[in-house]
Structure 1
Amino acid sequence: MKKVMHLLAAATMMFSCNQTPKQIQDNAATTDHADRKQEASQTAKTFNIADIPVSTADLGDFPFFTLPEGLKEQNKPLQKKFDICFFPMNGTMTPVEGRLYKTNVTAKPGEEFSQRFFEKSMEDYLTSVGAVKTYDGEITNEEYDRYNKQDPNKGGEGDIGYTGEQIKFYVIRSKDKGNIYVQFSANNAAGKLNVLQEELFQQTIKKVTADDIAKDLTEKGKSILYINFNLDKSTISADGKSVVDEIAEALKKNSALNIAIEGHTDNTGEASHNKRLSNDRANAVLNALTTNGIDKSRLSEKGFGAERPLVANDSEDNKAKNRRVELVKIN
């Protein structure tokens, strides 16, 4: 038996000696990669939010902690009051909704980025406030292909969750702040960080009523409405007509109320086209009101195109706010 063992050991040594340094390095890297994937898989299987101890640490305000000294946000971070982020739960990139912060991390001028410093700083701080590491590994090609098109922020600022990317994922069950999910990754050049405070969706859409319109006109002198029209046309959509009905009801309740109907657009497209479109839409609202029994002498209309934005036209959300109809009280 000893003779057989010696022969096997000798064969192993001969094989190793016949390998080039690069082959030895590649074999070691392959073994290390497989070990890390196995470790990640074993870690992922243990994840259950109910098993995370509740932390009583004072976490402060969202996003709850600063970057390590000498590091900064590379660009303007992605910050949303309510959005979705995918985290590697049970080995699967799983969506969680809530308040979201995502950023790329780089060194400040005059400093050098250290992967170890970034990771060690994050790990030690998170552990100190009661966070529990629930994943430390990579996702598979199959998993990336499965989920990536579901992520509305894929490819954006601070995006984490690519094949071959080492993801460290922590969870905090805070007594005061609820469930907080933190994931980060890094290489020798830079890092990425995601923080999400889990929150339930709160519906904010409500029906515009005649009383709301009348109150705005009385107290503010104007009422800002979002009446839906067919795309790039002045035809009022079905749900837009319900808003016009409420305007008519408000005017019927107060026969002394006269209004100017003003149409507004965002700055997309040619200014002359936007001006004409906004005027046509204001006129469409006026005609709908007269059809609804409102005397035309109480109404006037005008389109302003993109000349009077409510907010800067620097995002799709802001552009949507600028595409509006305003009712202005005429004394």
Structure 2
Amino acid sequence: MKKTVILFILATIVISCKQKPKEDVEKANHVEIPATGQKVKTDSTQDFNFEEIPYTKADLGVFPFFTLPNGLKEMNKPLQKKFDICFFPVEGVMKAFEGKLYKANITNEEGIQFSQHYFEKSMDDYLTSIGAVKIFSGTITQDEFERYYKKDPNKGDEGDIGYADEQINVYAIRSKTQGNILVQYSSTNAGAKLNILQQKLLTQTISKITADDIIQDLVQTGKSILYINFDTDKSDITADGKEVVSQIAEALHKDKNLKISIEGHTDNTGDATHNKKLSADRANSVMEALVSQNILKTRLSAKGFGAERPLAANDSEESKAKNRRVELVKIN
């Protein structure tokens, strides 16, 4: 009898050692799935694919595709660009998309208190009704914000979305006629922000300046404005600049009677006397380069005006770049 009891106890111990408690097995197999609205780790490798979204059957209208809910309005002039970049959270990682862009801060009409619930329900119901699919609802981490924000050229502008702990809702729309569209918004009881992007590829509009372009400008307006590259603060023409000079020479060879004044211009940075001399030296460099390409010097003259004749106010780098130019003026 004692031997039987001992054998039974030993068998129970062996079986017990081979079996893990059910709770431990469940813990070992359990995978954490982030709940909607919860912060998502930024090391996700999962990417969003528009091809997984079914085509909408709705008539979307024209960009930006829908109005604001009654009683709401744009706080200021919205940011609207024919082609730009906008960041949208995909699995908690801010991903850049390119295309036609609308960004706005949303507020209430006078006498109406802003309601976060009214705005969000209006947006969600309408977007769902036109076949939009919600692809994200949640926040991003501070680390993710620090990683991407300097890449956003519109950070701090109208309708700027994408800050740490900001609740963001993102919808995707796939249309056979309008292409891929992304809509994101964030809101509180103080107001809302709305971004709409119609995904597009860049249409390249930069083209080489040709002799025919120069002749056409001179015939139609008597002037051709060119941006010839020189070494910084020097009159030496760069390789790119020499390409433009070759086109000027070709234009002059095509029209043997054409005579031009080559006029150098600068922005207002630095000393005015220095700038005037620099612009004259650059105009002379262009003239000498043309002479070296068998253009008679009697058909040419060179002048420098420094910053005396700006095309635009010298109040930004973009405007200053417009003022650093060479003008060809027809003199016959």
Question: TM-score, with normalisation over the residues of structure 1?
Answer: 0.77
User: What SS does the corresponding residue of 1:54 show, helix, strand or coil?
Assistant: coil
Distance 1:303 1:81 in 2: 37
User: What SS does the corresponding residue of 2:81 show, helix, strand or coil?
Assistant: strand
Structure 1 partner of 2:29? none
Distance 2:189 2:272 in 1: 49
User: What SS does the corresponding residue of 2:38 show, helix, strand or coil?
Assistant: helix
Structure 2 partner of 1:226? 227
Distance 2:313 2:72 in 1: 31
Partners of 1:40 and 1:135 within 8 A in 2: no
Unaligned runs of 5+ in 2: 1-33
Structure 2 partner of 1:79? 80
Bigger mean CA offset, 233-242 vs 251-260: 233-242
Structure 2 partner of 1:144? 145
User: What SS does the corresponding residue of 2:123 show, helix, strand or coil?
Assistant: helix
Q: Give CA-to-partner distance per residue, 1:49-86, whole Å, 9 cap, x none.
A: 22212123232322222333333333333222221111
Does residue 1:329 correspond to 2:330, yes or no? Answer: yes
Unaligned runs of 5+ in 1: 1-32
1:107-118 alignment runs, 5 A limit:
107-118=108-119
CA shift, 1:135, in A, is 0.7
Q: Tell me which amino acid in the other structure corresponds to 1:328.
A: V
Distance 2:207 2:330 in 1: 23
CA shift, 1:178, in A, is 0.4
1:238-277 alignment runs, 5 A limit:
238-266=239-267, 275-277=276-278
Partners of 1:210 and 1:247 within 8 A in 2: yes
Normalized per residue, the structure richer in helix is 1
1:307-322 alignment runs, 5 A limit:
308-310=309-311, 316-322=317-323
CA shift, 1:137, in A, is 0.6
Bigger mean CA offset, 78-87 vs 213-222: 213-222
Change (3 A) 1:235 1:220: same
Q: CA RMSD in A?
A: 3.0
Q: Give CA-to-partner distance per residue, 1:214-236, whole Å, 9 cap, x none.
A: 23323443222221223344432
User: What SS does the corresponding residue of 1:252 show, helix, strand or coil?
Assistant: helix
Partners of 2:37 and 2:167 within 8 A in 1: no
Distance 1:269 1:131 in 2: 55
CA shift, 1:201, in A, is 1.8
Structure 2 partner of 1:26? none
Change (3 A) 1:82 1:273: farther
User: What SS does the corresponding residue of 1:60 show, helix, strand or coil?
Assistant: coil
Partners of 1:40 and 1:137 within 8 A in 2: no
Distance 2:169 2:40 in 1: 12
Distance 1:50 1:313 in 2: 47
CA shift, 1:37, in A, is 0.5
CA shift, 1:45, in A, is 6.7
1:74-223 alignment runs, 5 A limit:
74-223=75-224
Bigger mean CA offset, 312-321 vs 259-268: 312-321
Structure 1 partner of 2:53? 52
CA shift, 1:157, in A, is 2.5
User: What SS does the corresponding residue of 1:102 show, helix, strand or coil?
Assistant: strand
CA shift, 1:94, in A, is 1.0
Q: How many residues align?
A: 297
User: What SS does the corresponding residue of 1:263 show, helix, strand or coil?
Assistant: strand
Q: Percent identity?
A: 65
Change (3 A) 1:241 1:93: same
Bigger-Rg structure (1/2):
2
User: What SS does the corresponding residue of 2:99 show, helix, strand or coil?
Assistant: strand
